[in-house]
Every structure is written in C-alpha cells, then in structure tokens.
C-alpha cells in the first residue's frame, strides 16, 4: 500500500519490476510517442525482432471492442459496466525457446504460451 497516489509512469515502472525490464523499457522507449503511459505493441514487436537473443518480457495488449455509454474506449470502472475486449498475450522468451527447439510443444502450451482471445467480457 502506498501513502500517496502513483502517476501512470510510476504504475508502469512498478509493473516492470525486474530491473532488466525497466532499463529495457526506458532505453528503448517501448511506448507510444508522446504517451509514456501506453506501451507500444509495434515497438515491442520491433524490439523482439531486432534482439532475438534478448527478447522483452511477456506482455498483453487489450483492445476495447465495445465502448461505454458515452462512446468512449474505457475500461469498466463499476460493477455491471462490462466491455468486450480482444487480448493479445505475447511471451517472447517462451516463443523464442520453442522456435529454437529448446523446449517441447507440450512444455510451451503448459507454461503461459502466447495467445489471442477475442470477444472476451471484462467487468469490475
């Protein structure tokens, strides 16, 4: 518990708790230009392609596919205010290990594999 509110960059840095990931995030500016609170899916993909032996941490991208009553793309913030989302989860380290034959398909699919889920309901 914190004694004061955290800024959005503070929240992201707390999420990126591993020092390697934090340095990686800051050095490579893996966020949308001008939006330091929003990780860039494109920049994460580019980073992973350019650094195949040092991929970034696992990450998930949520895309809101149903808007709120005011036509905004917001996450639900009260019970009953559900949204549909598409979630893309990417585990670059595990993907790399599978591609290089370092792990079996069984191991991959039983240890947080990458996936995409569509029309997922989320709620508070």
Residues paired with 83 in a beta bridge? 122
Look-up of token digits 């990780």: 39
Q: Where are the domains of the chain?
A: 1-55, 58-124
Query: Among 25, 118, 65, which Cα is nearest to 75's?
Result: 65
- Binned at pLDDT 50, 70 and 90, residue 46 comes out as confident
What digits encode the pLDDT tens for the residues 5-32? Answer: 656 666 655 655 554 555 555 556 666 6
What digits encode the pLDDT tens for the residues 55-91? Answer: 777 888 888 888 888 888 888 888 888 899 999 998 9
- Binned at pLDDT 50, 70 and 90, residue 35 comes out as low
Sheet holding 115-122, edge to edge: 59-64, 83-90, 115-122
pLDDT attached to residue 19 = 46
């Amino acid at each position: 518990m914190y004694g004061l509110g955290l800024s959005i960059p503070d929240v992201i840095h707390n999420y990126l708790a591993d020092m390697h990931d934090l340095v990686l995030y800051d050095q490579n500016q893996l966020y949308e230009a001008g939006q330091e609170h929003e990780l860039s899916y494109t920049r994460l993909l580019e980073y992973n392609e350019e650094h195949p032996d040092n991929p970034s941490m696992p990450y998930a991208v949520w895309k809101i596919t149903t808007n709120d009553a005011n036509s905004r793309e917001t996450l639900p913030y009260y019970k009953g205010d559900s949204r549909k989302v598409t979630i893309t989860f990417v585990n670059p380290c595990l993907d790399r290990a599978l591609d290089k034959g370092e792990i079996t398909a069984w191991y991959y699919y039983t240890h947080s594999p990458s996936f995409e889920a569509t029309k997922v309901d989320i709620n508070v």
